[in-house]
């Protein structure tokens, strides 16, 4: 399966260190300063993770209590065999080194990872993901919506 990942790297002293890990492959991108990562991973069903690693305290510049420069990246878009995920990324959890996790985040500014577990065919997984994301974004209660339309 062709995997394309579009990011916005934050480059302070160096670019971020990124690994893409799947069942059979580990793709390493050190000091990465590009906006696009392209690689091949095994076809669905599969699981892959995007990992930001080897970040040190010296990779952040702080002035007056605010971060002014950083080593990290924003995960903007993932394309899996032509299927585009953008807003759906925010539904996945970012897991940090201290074992905490957070949803709704696309910035990899710490040593952290995000995992995508495609348990069925890619088309079906994408359909379910987009359907779930649409309902979450709009807070739609389908049963209530149907009742309002029919009344």
> Can you give the pLDDT at residue 37?
96
Interacting residues of 31 by C-beta distance below 8 A, sequence separation 6+? 14, 15, 16, 17
More confident residue, 126 or 146: 126
Radius of gyration of the chain (CA): 18
Give all domains of the chain, ordered by start, each with its CATH number: 2-150 (2.60.60.40)
pLDDT (tens digit per residue) in 88-133 = 999 899 999 999 999 999 999 999 999 999 988 888 888 888 777 6
Considering the entire predicted model, what is its pTM? 0.82
- The pairs formed by 130-135 with CB atoms below 8 angstroms and a separation of 24 or more are 130/88, 132/91, 133/87, 133/88, 133/91
**Torsion 101-108-115-22 (CA) sign:** negative
Residue 13 structure tokens: 């002293």
- pLDDT attached to residue 128: 85
């Amino acid at each position: 399966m062709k995997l394309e990942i579009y990011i916005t790297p934050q480059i302070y002293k160096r670019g971020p260190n990124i690994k893409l890990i799947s069942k059979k492959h580990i793709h390493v991108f050190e000091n990465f300063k590009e906006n696009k990562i392209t690689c091949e991973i095994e076809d669905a069903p599969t699981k892959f993770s995007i990992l930001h690693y080897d970040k040190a305290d010296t990779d952040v510049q702080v002035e007056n209590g605010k971060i002014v420069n950083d080593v990290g990246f924003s995960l903007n878009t993932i394309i899996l065999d032509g299927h585009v995920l953008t807003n759906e990324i925010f539904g996945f959890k970012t897991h940090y080194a201290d074992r905490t996790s957070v949803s709704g985040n696309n910035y990899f500014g710490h040593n952290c990872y995000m995992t995508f577990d495609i348990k069925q065919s890619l088309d079906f997984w994408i359909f379910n993901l987009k359907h779930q994301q649409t309902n979450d974004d709009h807070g739609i209660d389908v049963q209530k919506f149907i009742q309002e339309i029919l009344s």
